[in-house]
Homo-oligomer: A and B are copies of this chain.
Amino acid sequence: MRGRIAVVQMQSELYVSDANRAKTASLIESAADDEARLVVLPELAISGYGLDEAGLRASAEPVDGPTLAAWADIARRRRIVIAGGFCELHEGRLYNAAMLVGPGGLLAHYRKLHLFDREKLVFTPGDRGLPVADTPAGRIGLCVCFDLRFVEVVRALALMGADIVAVPTAWVGGFDRNPRDAMGWIGQARGAAVQANLSQVYIACASQAGRSAEHRFLGSSLVCDPYGEALAGPLDDEAEAIVLADFDIAIARNAQIRSELVRPREDRRTDVYAVSAAGRTL
């Protein structure tokens, strides 16, 4: 199966959900016009990426709220799949959530497992595991931003059968000592590329861009192929833009067999990993 991925790098206005939702709808339509079959939007695209609890509560919604309605409508009309982040309010708690929406409606609902920095002060950690869903654009896994810093995440999604990992992000500094390497790549983008290669998946990261009142975002949205090469991006930090890249699920599958005797998926030593970690969960 072949298709086109669009990663939408944008800046959401802080805590102005209606305007942001309308902006995502417009950008998704634009990506569909460019023949995208999968559109990836940033982390907290609807609420904006901010950490003021009152602001987040004012722009939060349940998973079956207006964002699902808006995205499902476009997905149905345009026959596409949409991945993006929103602030979820559930039983009084806030989650840094994301959803995968297809022509038939909700395909996956994810709550960020690894909360970054001050996110811990406002969000509840994810309690819905890691999702992979069969979609009209292939088998797609979902995680959010800081999740990529844990090698288990992409690995688990790949082992669950994902050929593409969609990653809504809002990349900022605070983890790497030097945010950019000598080529200007940020650590997160470099890590995505390496992990795409090591787990033989496409990785499509859509980041918040520019500056808000609370954060300076690193942008760097990109699509990596299953050999760890950037097909498109990384974008400049200030750019609001849609990046397009063509995918072919056969390439991800073929990357699992580099040659007759080099088979990175089969060659795994599952008999050893957990034992070696002396009972610790890898």
- List chain A positions with a Cβ less than 8 A from chain B: 113-118, 120-121, 125-126, 129-130, 149-153, 155-157, 159-160, 174-178, 181-183, 187, 190-191, 194-195, 197-199, 227-229, 258-259, 261-262, 264, 267-278, 280-282
Contacts and interface: CB of A to CB of B under 8 A. Distances in A.
Nearest to A275: B129
B156 A273 contact: yes
Q: How many identical chains are in the complex?
A: 2
B177 A272 contact: no
Given A152-B282, A174-B258, A191 B199 contact: no
Contacts of A149: 198, 264
Nearest to A191: B194
B117 A175 contact: no
B159 A277 contact: yes
B117 A151 contact: no
A175 to B, nearest CB: 6
Contact of A273 (B117, B183, B275, B281): B281
Given A261-B118, A282-B159, A198 B267 contact: no
